[in-house]
Structure 1
């Protein structure tokens, strides 16, 4: 960004200092690039998209590999329409099934195909996390990052209440 652009930007966003903007932009860029590269590896290897992988990972957290749709919505913090479209695409490819339980609640269940696809993606994901993230951080760096993410997560939780 040119000096003139920075000065104009600083004037319009005076409540955030240039150092604060640099921290924010660095965080966002690092997260987007790192996640993007990991997802590219997963997609190349398995055909799963970022959203597919996230949904399957969350379903896999349950011993019966299912969640209420509302629980997925709450966990992912996606728009209801986005989740519905994503689940429709995944059901069409045989990765998940939608059922209605006795309380008329929509339950999302991972299929055997979804489980197989996730099984193929998990080692690719782990290798990407190692290659693009962990290999570049010391134990102290990881501890500091964990403290920072815990602090930010707690602040977000407090802001909801």
Structure 2
């Protein structure tokens, strides 16, 4: 039977994980704002569209793991800045598709170099190949349990 509390070691690792993810999110947001005036949410949408091409709104929401209402608000803001375009398909709002504009692609390309450098230096630099493999395995296990 499990204790209601984490062990001391689990608690220590958990707190480090929370601190690391919080600091990393803040650093990524700051870098994107400074380099190209993007939010991390903007960047996530641009990356998903660049990797998968035009997507239906509901598919993009699933890809990002977002609620559709959050994505709709995000797309509206990004359309206003010329980063994405939305095409309706009849009366079915779920049938609407979203794609990158040329401006969105250019902005993503500008943002990517700094973002990749930040991730490389803060997450991967200094890890041995064995540590990197173990890190990937831990994340795969977590994601598998979260997926159900």
Query: Do the structures match in fold with TM over 0.5?
Result: yes
Structure 2 distance, partners of 1:92, 1:113, is 12
Say whether residues 1:113 and 2:91 are aligned partners: no
- TM-score normalised to structure 2 length: 0.88
- Structure 1 equivalent of residue 4 of structure 2: 14
> For the Cα contact (< 8 Å) 2:28–2:40, is it kept in 1?
no
1:96 corresponds, among 79, 84, 107, to: 84
1:54 corresponds, among 41, 44, 62, to: 44
2:70 corresponds, among 70, 82, 107, to: 82
Say whether residues 1:37 and 2:40 are aligned partners: no
Paired residues, number: 144
Q: What residue ranges of structure 2 are gaps of 5+ in the alignment?
A: none
Report SS of the residue matched to 2:87. strand
Query: CA 1:43/1:81 → structure 2, altered by over 3 Å: closer, same or farther?
Result: same
Q: Which has the larger radius of gyration?
A: 1
- TM-score normalised to structure 1 length: 0.82
1:80-101 deviation digits (Å, cap 9, x = unpaired) = 2211111110011010011123
Q: What residue ranges of structure 1 are gaps of 5+ in the alignment?
A: 1-12
Structure 2 distance, partners of 1:14, 1:22, is 16
Report SS of the residue matched to 1:22. helix
CA RMSD, 1 decimal: 1.8
Where in structure 1 do 4 or more consecutive aligned residues deviate above 6 Å? none
Measure how far apart 1:35 and its partner are.
2.9
Structure 1 distance, partners of 2:71, 2:54, is 15
